[in-house]
A = this chain, B = another copy of it.
C-alpha cells in the first residue's frame, strides 16, 4: 500500500534487525533463523516493501530480465509464441523486454552496439539467424542465448523439421495425384536474410519430394514473395500465367496461403476442385477458411524456447559446462478442405460434381 519511501532500512527498523538480515531473509538466503525470517517477512508485507530492482541489479549483476527479439510483432505466429514464452518466463520470476527488429537497419543497430549488457541476463532470438560475430557480441555482454527458428553450434534452440515438413506436405499433394505442384515461399525483405532459414528448408523439402517422385525435371514452379497476404497473392498471380500452370501449391506460410486463396477465387477457380492449396503454421483462421496446412505446435515452441533459456540461465550458477538443449519437433499435416485430387483424376467427368457441394470446398 505504501509508496516508494520504504527501503530496506524501514523494514529493518520495524523488524528490529539489520538491513543485511532483511536482505537475506527476504531472498531466502540460508543463515537466517526461521523466527527472524518470519518477523522480517511480516514487516515487509505490512509496509508493502519491494526491493529496488536497480539497486539489487547493481549489487548482484543479475537483472532477472530476459529480452525477446522478433522481426515483427503484428503476425499471429509471433504474438502466439511470445505470449507463451513470456508466461513461462514470468512464472520463473523474469521480466521480459521486447525488441522488434523490423528493418535491417534496426537489426544492425541492435547487434552493433552494447545495449543488452546490464539490461538482460539472456535473450531469445526468434526467426532471425544471428551471425557468429553477433552471437559473440551477445556473449561478451554476458548474455545467454536461445534461438527459435534458427540454429547455431553451442546455442540452445528449438526448431521444427521444416525440410521434412515441406516434403510431407508436397507428398500429400503428390499422393492425391497432382503432377504439377508449385511452391510459394518467403523472400527476404530488403535484401537481408530476414526470411530466415525455415523458409529455405521448406523449399528444400519441396524439392526433395519432387525429386523422389521423379518430377524434378520439369520447369520450376517456385515463386517467392514477402510473407503476407499480399505477397502470397502476388506470387499466385505469377503462377497463373505460367506456361503450364500448376494444379496445386504448397505455400510456406498460412498468411501467404490466404492471399493465394483470394487470387484463385478472383480468378474464378474453385478450391479444391480446380486447385489445391496447402499452407504452413496452422494459423487460427485456417479453420475458418478451410485451409489444409502443416501444424507445428506454435504455443509449445514458445514454451520450449523459454524453458531452454531458463536452463541456460540456471546453468550459469551450476558450473557444469552442460551443452545447451536443442529441440526439434516434427510438423504434422492437418487436412481441411483446400486439398483434393486434381480435376483430371476425378471419377466423374468434369463438371458433374455440383459447383456448390457444400462441406467439400474451401471457403475463400
Indicate whether A211 reaches chain B with its CB closer than 8 angstroms: no
A262 and B80 alpha carbons, distance in the complex (Å): 22
On whether the beta carbons of B63 and A73 are closer than 8 Å, the reply is no
Indicate whether A240 reaches chain B with its CB closer than 8 angstroms: no
Q: Which candidate, A27-35, A115-123, A303-311, A315-323, is the interface stretch facing chain B?
A: A115-123
On whether the beta carbons of A118 and B284 are closer than 8 Å, the reply is no
Indicate whether A141 reaches chain B with its CB closer than 8 angstroms: yes
A114 and B47 alpha carbons, distance in the complex (Å): 11
On whether the beta carbons of A50 and B117 are closer than 8 Å, the reply is yes
Report the nearest B residue to A67, measured CB to CB: B95
Which of A53, A75, A288, A359 counts the most B-chain CB atoms under 10 A from its CB?
A288
A68 and B86 alpha carbons, distance in the complex (Å): 13
With A74-B79, A117-B50 already in contact, the answer to whether A4 and B97 are too (CB < 8 A) is no
With A265-B363, A288-B258 already in contact, the answer to whether A100 and B74 are too (CB < 8 A) is no
Report the nearest B residue to A119, measured CB to CB: B53
On whether the beta carbons of A119 and B95 are closer than 8 Å, the reply is yes
Among B63, B72, B80, point to the contact of A74 (Cβ < 8 A).
B80
Residues of B with C-beta under 8 A to A209: none
Residues of B with C-beta under 8 A to A50: 113-115, 117-118
Copies in the complex: 2
Among B3, B95, B102, B287, point to the contact of A140 (Cβ < 8 A).
B3
Residues of B with C-beta under 8 A to A78: 79
On whether the beta carbons of A4 and B142 are closer than 8 Å, the reply is yes
Indicate whether A82 reaches chain B with its CB closer than 8 angstroms: yes
Residues of B with C-beta under 8 A to A356: 355-356
On whether the beta carbons of B76 and A364 are closer than 8 Å, the reply is no
Report the nearest B residue to A260, measured CB to CB: B288
Q: List 8 A-B contacts (CB under 8 A).
A: A49-B114, A54-B57, A65-B97, A78-B79, A90-B100, A288-B364, A355-B356, A364-B364
A50 and B58 alpha carbons, distance in the complex (Å): 15
Minimum Cβ distance to chain B for residue A117 (Å): 6
Minimum Cβ distance to chain B for residue A153 (Å): 21
Report the nearest B residue to A65, measured CB to CB: B97
B interface footprint on A91-106 (CB within 8 Å = 1, 0 otherwise): 0000111101010000
A289 and B290 alpha carbons, distance in the complex (Å): 12
On whether the beta carbons of A72 and B63 are closer than 8 Å, the reply is no
Residues of B with C-beta under 8 A to A54: 54-55, 57-58, 63, 118
List the 9 closest A-B pairs by CB distance, nearest first. Answer: A73-B83, A54-B57, A3-B140, A79-B79, A50-B114, A74-B80, A74-B79, A54-B58, A52-B118
Among B55, B102, B287, point to the contact of A58 (Cβ < 8 A).
B55
Report the nearest B residue to A73, measured CB to CB: B83
Indicate whether A218 reaches chain B with its CB closer than 8 angstroms: no
